[in-house]
Amino acid sequence: MGIDLPGRSADGSRQAYLMGAGLLGMGALHFAAPKNFDAIIPRELPVEPRLLTQASGVAELAIGAGLLARPTRRVAALAAVALFVAVYPANLNTIRVVADQPLPYRIAAWLRLPLQWPMITTAWRIYRRSGAQPD
């Protein structure tokens, strides 16, 4: 019960803790520096970018917190999979947004794409492991 510390168990707690902490940090950044997130939201979406920035920030905060506690971890991990898939279009759009930026920005935008898949698979692994019954 409560918050698991990294390395405390083999049921995915360490990965859940790290992913949860990362999502809490990124969720907070959506409110601290929203313009950076607004800029990568595809303009073709029929919703104001700031609303999507705030919604994804709230989602990241909720999912991050959910990953820290064992009772909510399984649902939060599944929500993380959905979130990471849902924000993939914004990551694709980042390539278009930074097309005229210096090379390091363009490289970083391209590197985000394949890095999204390990995040998805890690969240899925946390989901699967958190459903396992303890011995």
Task: Give domain status of residue 135, yes or no.
Answer: no
Tell me how many domains the chain contains.
Answer: 1
Q: Is the pLDDT of residue 4 over 80?
A: no
- Residue-averaged pLDDT of the chain: 88
Cα angle 61-13-130, degrees, rounded to a multiple of 5: 90
Residue 4, domain member (yes or no):
no
Q: What is the pTM of this model?
A: 0.82
Range of the domain at 32: 13-130
Question: What integer is the mean pLDDT of 40-53?
Answer: 90
> What local confidence, expressed as pLDDT, does residue 29 receive?
97
Rg (CA), the chain: 16
CA atoms within 13 A on the CB side of 69: 9
Q: Within a domain: residue 1?
A: no
